[in-house]
Every structure is written in C-alpha cells, then in structure tokens.
C-alpha cells in the first residue's frame, strides 16, 4: 500500500540508509554459516542472563469444552 511504502521510505530517510543497505545486509546474513552464528551467539549472549517469557492462555479451551 502507499502508506506502507511511505513508512518504509520515512524510516530509511530517518536512519540515513537506502534499500540497497538492507539488500546487502540480507545477503550477508544469508551467507553466514551455522558455526558463525553459534560463535556470535556464544560471544554476545550470556545464557545465564536470558529470560524466557511465555504469554497467552495455557488453560484448556473452556469455550468448546476441550
């Protein structure tokens, strides 16, 4: 839609980036190996500080009786 495109262009202008920047970024991400991703995760993420959040209705479905 025109509004979506305007939003994308506005964000690009604000960040002083082009669509080519994101194309290049996607290509770089796609070229990563699983070993490279694991190494980056190991270097930058402390598993002891991770917080896992679950949200939603975990009760049995009472509306349909299941």
Query: Coil, strand, or helix at residue 48?
Result: helix
Q: What angle do CA 25, 47, 34 make, to 5 degrees?
A: 40
Residue pLDDT, tens place only, 5-15 = 999 999 999 99
Average pLDDT over residues 34-39: 98
Q: What is the mean pLDDT of residues 16-26?
A: 95
pLDDT at 66: 56
Alpha carbons within 13 A on the beta-carbon side of 66: 3
- pLDDT value of position 56: 87
């Amino acid at each position: 839609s025109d509004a979506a495109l305007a939003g994308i262009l506005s964000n690009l202008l604000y960040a002083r980036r082009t669509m080519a920047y994101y194309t290049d970024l996607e290509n770089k991400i796609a070229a990563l190996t699983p070993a490279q991703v694991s190494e980056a995760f190991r270097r930058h993420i402390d598993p002891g500080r991770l917080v896992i959040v679950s949200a939603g209705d975990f009760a049995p479905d009472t509306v349909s009786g299941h």
